[in-house]
Structure 1
Amino acid sequence: MSLEAFVAEMFGTMLLLLLGTGVVANVALAGTKGNNGGFLMVNFGWGLGVFAGVYVAALSGAHLNPAVTVGLLVNSDVATLGPDIDKTFMNVLLYFAAQLIGAMLGAFLCWLSYKQHFDAEPDPANKLGVFSTGPAIRSNAWNLITEIIGTFVLVFVVISFAGTPSGLGPLAVALLVVGIGASLGGPTGYAINPARDLGPRIVHALLPIKGKGGSDWGYSWVPVVGPLIGGVLGGLVAMLVTFPVVTG
């Protein structure tokens, strides 16, 4: 993986997280112009974050998500991880690193953008909810299943896109993310991306946010393990319905 591809993946993930956590902040935090804008507004914000991030990360193949990386890795019909990026253990680790660093940078920039509103927000849960996901009904086993299913849909369909002549590219992926959020996001807030949840959760723990409360580390493994399992399943099942492709 070249330095240029690493930087592209990092900045693409940064934009995804900046716009994604940004729309949550706009809806959840006190006194914002978008306060109480609703879950559908959040869905579209994340979708448009994906849209921007995919364009920026074209050099890396625009995974933006460790679950997508592992899905491509296990799918033998996909020849490479990205444009001229071989399927090696080291390249997978470099993708993971770029995604986690980018996610942390995006969450940090979101905090800077909404600093005064974080200070004004009285509910610690709303502050944490900007950075990371949490279940509507807490049951780790069922929450894990939800994340597996949502991520399976994401990876399975994304790989299927690559085998079709639609040419929709980033727009198709963005609309897919909106659809997953609207349809399957209710139980857990649909992390469907380990870096998306873990990176901002680390930033929440590190930042000096007034009255922030805890970072809910007891739940943090669910939006990491669930999407990784879903990504592997999506990559494997996609081999049954797609033709061999080269990413990028």
Structure 2
Amino acid sequence: MDTTQVLISEFIGTAVLMAFGSGTNASVLLKNTLAKAFNPNWMTIMFGWAFGVAFAVYIGIALGGPAHLNPALTVALAAGGMFPWEHVIPVSLAQIAGAFVGSALVMIHYYPHFKQTKEDEGNVVGIFATAPTSDNRLLNVISEIIATFMFALAILCLGKMGDGLFPFIVGVLVAAIGLSFGSTTGFALNPARDFGPRLAYTILPVPNRGATNWAYAWVPVIGPIIGASAAVGLFLAIAPK
């Protein structure tokens, strides 16, 4: 495994994931975008994220990495003996950095619309990070555990990451998870896609920035790691050898 190539692929792949995903959110939530004229809704966001994940995985694979794009998967696969532990920290940092950069690109692209949109009009951290619809941290963590468990278990059952339509199917899977389990916490599934963008929204000069809600930020980190690890454990226990 070429460690440098893995880090590059995870960085760029996660940046692409967040650029497409948060770009969709910004298009839907900010004022005076063209999407507003077409009454965008939850399905718009699901398709945007699904396609974004699919293309990000294609890119991650093409650039020579495992295309985890997600510290929860990286940690869980290492715990299951399917990924080297010594790569977990550098790969996770590359994923977080990529998510930060992808979010920064969205902020640049939509900068005029951030200037036109106040917090009560849609300029919120939810463009980039997740937030619960009902703020109960225990239940929020459980929601993230369940959603990520289903996500990771399905991925493990799909076969090798680079085979055929795998990346496209992963995109479809993201939409399925979002439609079924996403309405409680926004289905982070991925510590990098929440922490990196939340940090970007906090420290970059975003006009009319809303609250960043760091008190909630541990939920989309801990929940996905537990959920993905549980899925790997179950898969190893019951899958045919």
TM-score normalised by L of structure 2: 0.92
SS at match of 1:161: coil
Q: 1:131 touches 1:201 (CA, 8 Å); kept in 2?
A: yes
Instruction: Write out aligned runs for 1:89-128 (5 A).
Output: 90-123=86-119, 126-128=123-125
Q: Of the candidates 207, 211, 230, which is equivalent to residue 208 of structure 2?
A: 211
**Deviation of residue 74 (structure 1)?**
2.2
- What amino acid maps onto 1:133 in structure 2? T
Matched, 1:156 2:148: no
**Deviation of residue 232 (structure 1)?**
0.7
Query: How far, CA to CA, are the matches of 2:230 and 2:33 in structure 1?
Result: 39
- What amino acid maps onto 1:156 in structure 2? L
Query: How far, CA to CA, are the matches of 1:111 and 1:127 in structure 2?
Result: 12
Matched, 1:31 2:32: yes
Question: Corresponding residue for 1:53?
Answer: 56
Q: 1:154 touches 1:176 (CA, 8 Å); kept in 2?
A: yes
- What amino acid maps onto 1:145 in structure 2? I
Q: Of the candidates 72, 77, 80, which is equivalent to residue 77 of structure 2?
A: 72
Query: How far, CA to CA, are the matches of 2:189 and 2:232 in structure 1?
Result: 14
Identity of aligned pairs, percent? 35
Q: Of the candidates 156, 167, 182, which is equivalent to residue 185 of structure 1?
A: 182
**Deviation of residue 122 (structure 1)?**
1.7
Map Cα deviations across residues 13-54 of structure 1 (whole Å, 9 max, x no partner).
000000000000011111111134111111111111111111
- What amino acid maps onto 1:62 in structure 2? A
Question: Corresponding residue for 1:130?
Answer: 127
Q: 1:163 touches 1:242 (CA, 8 Å); kept in 2?
A: no
**Deviation of residue 243 (structure 1)?**
4.5
Query: How far, CA to CA, are the matches of 1:163 and 1:170 in structure 2?
Result: 10
Query: How far, CA to CA, are the matches of 1:177 and 1:171 in structure 2?
Result: 10
Query: How far, CA to CA, are the matches of 1:208 and 1:135 in structure 2?
Result: 25
SS at match of 1:218: helix
**Deviation of residue 167 (structure 1)?**
3.9
Bigger mean CA deviation after superposition, 181-190 or 234-243: 234-243
Q: 2:13 touches 2:59 (CA, 8 Å); kept in 1?
A: yes
Q: 1:68 touches 1:155 (CA, 8 Å); kept in 2?
A: yes
SS at match of 2:131: coil
- What amino acid maps onto 2:9 in structure 1? A
Question: Corresponding residue for 2:43?
Answer: 40
Higher helix share: 2
Matched, 1:200 2:197: yes
Q: Of the candidates 132, 140, 143, which is equivalent to residue 140 of structure 2?
A: 143
Query: How far, CA to CA, are the matches of 1:179 and 1:61 in structure 2?
Result: 22
Query: How far, CA to CA, are the matches of 2:75 and 2:196 in structure 1?
Result: 18
**Alignment: residue pair count:** 235
**Deviation of residue 123 (structure 1)?**
2.0
Bigger mean CA deviation after superposition, 198-207 or 120-129: 120-129
Residue 168 to residue 216, structure 1, CA distance change in 2 (3 Å): same
SS at match of 2:75: helix
TM-score normalised by L of structure 1: 0.90
* Deviating 4+ runs (over 4 angstroms): none
SS at match of 2:186: coil
The CA RMSD measured in Å over matched residues stands at 1.8
Query: How far, CA to CA, are the matches of 2:123 and 2:90 in structure 1?
Result: 32
- What amino acid maps onto 2:131 in structure 1? G
Question: Corresponding residue for 1:84?
Answer: none
Q: 2:123 touches 2:208 (CA, 8 Å); kept in 1?
A: no
Map Cα deviations across residues 192-216 of structure 1 (whole Å, 9 max, x no partner).
1000000000000101112213210
SS at match of 2:198: helix
